[in-house]
Amino acid sequence: MSEFFSMGGYAFFVWPSYLLALVLLVGLLLTSIRAARTRAALLDRLKAERRAFES
Amino acid sequence: MHRFANPARFLRIASALFPWVSVLCALSLAAGLWFALAASPADYQQGDSVRIMYVHVPAAWMGMFCYSAMALFSAVALIWKHPLADLLARATAPIGAAFTFLCLVSGSLWGRPMWGTWWAWDARLTSMLILLFLYLGYMALADAFDDPERGRKSAAILALVGFVNVPVIKWSVDWWNTLHQPASVIKRGGPAIDSSMLLPLLLMAIGFQLYYVVVLILRVRAEIAEAKIRTLRLAAIHAAGGDDSP
ipTM of this complex: 0.91
Considering the domain boundaries, does residue B190 fall inside one? no
C-alpha distance from A28 to closest chain B C-alpha (Å): 8
Dump pLDDT digits (tens) for B26-77: 999 999 999 998 888 888 888 888 999 999 999 999 999 999 999 999 999 9
DSSP characters over B45-105: TTBGGGGGHHHHHHHHHHHHHHHHHHHHHHHHHHHH--HHHHHHHHHHHHHHHHHHHHHHH
pLDDT of residue B108: 93
Structural domain harbouring B177: 55-182+196-239
Average pLDDT value over all residues in chain B: 89
Considering the domain boundaries, does residue B168 fall inside one? yes
How many domains would you assign to chain B?
A: 1
Dump pLDDT digits (tens) for A15-39: 999 999 999 999 999 999 999 999 9
State how far the Cα of B69 lies from the Cα of B106, in Å rounded to an integer. 23
Considering the domain boundaries, does residue B9 fall inside one? no
Residue (of B66, B62, B79, B63) closest to B156 by Cα position: B79
Query: How many Cβ atoms sit within 10 Å of the Cβ of residue B46?
Result: 16
Considering the domain boundaries, does residue B175 fall inside one? yes
Residue B205 at interface with chain A, using a CB cutoff of 8 Å: no
Smallest Cβ distance to A21: which of B55, B219, B222? B55
pLDDT of A53 above 80: no
C-alpha distance from B228 to closest chain A C-alpha (Å): 7
pLDDT of residue B45: 81
Dump pLDDT digits (tens) for B83-136: 899 999 999 999 999 999 999 999 999 988 988 889 989 889 999 999 999 999
Considering the domain boundaries, does residue B94 fall inside one? yes
Q: How far is CA B63 from CA A4, A42, B112, B125, B229, in A?
A: 30, 33, 22, 13, 31
- At residue B189, φ and ψ (nearest 5 deg) are 85, 10
Going by the DSSP 8-state scheme, the letter that residue B144 receives in this structure is S
- At residue B147, φ and ψ (nearest 5 deg) are -90, 110
